[in-house]
Structure 1
Amino acid sequence: MTEPTQPPDSTDTEDSPTRRNPALIAAAVALPVATVVGIVVAAVMAGKNPVLEPVALGTVPAAAAGSPECASLVGSLPKQLGDFDRAELVDPAPEGAAAWQNVDAQEIVLRCGVDRPGEFNAASALQVIDGVQWFEIPGGEGLDASTWFAVDRGVYVALTVPYGLGPSPLQDASGAVAAALEAKPIDPAAVPVPVPVPNP
């Protein structure tokens, strides 16, 4: 005696609304995951590449800033000094000036054609980097940077660098200065003569 055949279960038919294609299930799971991963990656990249504002530079005494020497130097400056990227300057930008920024919004500022620093005299200690002689003036109180002056070119070049960056920015700047500006004999001021203190 044969068993009566059962009608097929409606859940096993391909047309049943409760049956799901495995490929569709995988896609439905993967899409939200990919979206979340994309958002996280974008956030991380935004943290590494913040949108930095253009740098505003005031004017300083720089009689030779518009000289051909300074135009040659500024036109050949590298896009990077160490880990700092070349920054845009707020208009109107002073002649002979350039700036670089890092991801922490620290700034390195170069000014070409500045006046000879008053502290630079025949007794000043110099540091030679890649053939360029630099004279350093440490930042005053509240200034977390020092300014280095290239003193052996036809024009004076000042580079203000935050403390703690290591030698790379100054080395990169030295290469640019050496390539663009011909070396000249240094011209320091005379050593100040001590003023005698009268006896009381």
Structure 2
Amino acid sequence: MSEPQNPSSEQDPTAEENATAEQNEHSTERRHPALIATAVALPVALVIGVIVAAAIANRTPVQQPVGLGPVEAPAAESSECTTLMADLPEKLGDFTRAELRDPAPVAAAAWQQTEGEPIVMRCGLPRPPEFNEASPLSIVDGVQWFEISGAAQGMDASTWYAVDRGVYIALTAPGGSGPTPLQDASAAVAKALPAQPPDPAPIPFP
């Protein structure tokens, strides 16, 4: 005669499956918050990145190329002008190097801000007719400059000529641009080209 089996000594397969399912359910519930946080964080970070990038783009307007007309520049293709143009700085004060509109003159460069008139440099120009032995000169970082104001022509700008290098270099700057652009240009000219004695015209007689 067989002994009666103790119901508690054997596990009910259905009960075991239910227990396992319950544990898995609890484990899944514990993972849900972390999974949800990760799933939400990724697209939110992406959206924030796009918004920030758009805001930066809106604060940085695209600068248009600067158009320059032709001027007399007999030494524009000289080795001095080639050397100077190849080593110009990216910035003159608060003005940033700008692209020139085609057809761009030889040995010319421009710097601009987001608005307003640009600063323009030209190399290889003839000696300015106004430059003579009585002309006052300004020395900036070792470079001698002769200034011609545009006020007589109704222009709020000045053109500075470097008169002590192997070629004449003109820097035209709008009014209010401050002294830093001329200082930065002087440093570039002094670095690229050796100094030479100025060659002014004789003082004109009345």
Q: TM-score, normalised by structure 1?
A: 0.77
Per the alignment, residue 112 of structure 2 pairs with 101
Q: 1-side partners of 2:35 and 2:114: how far apart?
A: 43
**2:83 is equivalent to residue 56 of structure 1:** no
Q: What secondary structure sits across from 1:92 in the alignment?
A: coil
Shift in Å, 1:105: 5.0
Structure 2 residue identity aligned to 1:106: E
State yes or no: 1:112 paired with 2:119. no
Q: CA deviation at 1:44?
A: 3.9
In 2 relative to 1, CA 104–45 (structure 1 residues): closer, same or farther, beyond 3 Å? farther
Matched, 1:125 2:136: yes
How far apart are residue 83 of structure 1 and its match?
A: 1.7
Pairs aligned (count): 186
Per-residue Cα deviation, 1:81-127 (whole angstroms, up to 9, x for no partner) = 11222111122211111111122253111000011111111111111
Kept in 2, the 8 Å contact 1:115–1:156? The answer is yes
| Correspondence for 2:102 | 91
Deviating beyond 4 angstroms after TM superposition, the runs of 4 or more aligned structure 1 residues are: 21-40
**Aligned residues: percent identity?**
64
SS in 2 for 1:90: coil
Query: Based on CA coordinates, which of the two structures has the bigger radius of gyration?
Result: 2
Residue 47 of structure 1, CA deviation: 4.1
Q: d(CA) in 2 for partners of 1:80 and 1:163?
A: 18
Change (3 A) 1:36 1:75: same
Shifted more, 26-35 versus 155-164: the winner is: 26-35
- What is the rounded CA distance, in whole Å, between the counterparts of 2:93 and 2:111 in structure 1? 10
Partner of 1:79: 90
Equivalent in the alignment of 1:173: 185
2:101 counterpart letter in structure 1: V
Q: 1:64, 1:113 within 8 Å by CA — same for their partners in 2? A: yes
Unaligned runs of 5+ in 2: 1-24, 26-31
**What is the correspondence of 1:1-200 to structure 2 with a 5 Å cutoff?**
38=49, 41-140=52-151, 141-194=153-206
Structure 1 counterpart of 2:158, one-letter code: S
Tell me the SS of whatever aligns to 1:184: coil
CA shift at 1:177, angstroms?
Answer: 0.5
Aligned counterparts of 2:129 and 2:38: Cα–Cα separation in 1: 71
CA RMSD of superposed structures (Å): 3.2
Q: State whether residues 82 and 169 of structure 1, in contact with CA within 8 Å, keep that contact through their aligned partners in structure 2.
A: yes
Residue 61 of structure 1 deviates from its aligned partner by: 0.9
Give the aligned residue type for 1:156: Y
State the Cα distance separating 1:168 from its structure 2 match: 1.3
Secondary structure of the residue aligned to 1:113 is strand
- Amino acid of the residue matched to residue 180 of structure 2? S
- Which residue identity is paired with 2:124? G
Q: 1:42-63 CA deviation, whole Å, 9 max, x = no partner?
A: 4542344211111111111111
Q: Which runs of 5+ in 1 are unaligned?
A: 1-13, 15-20, 195-200
SS of 2:173's equivalent? Answer: strand
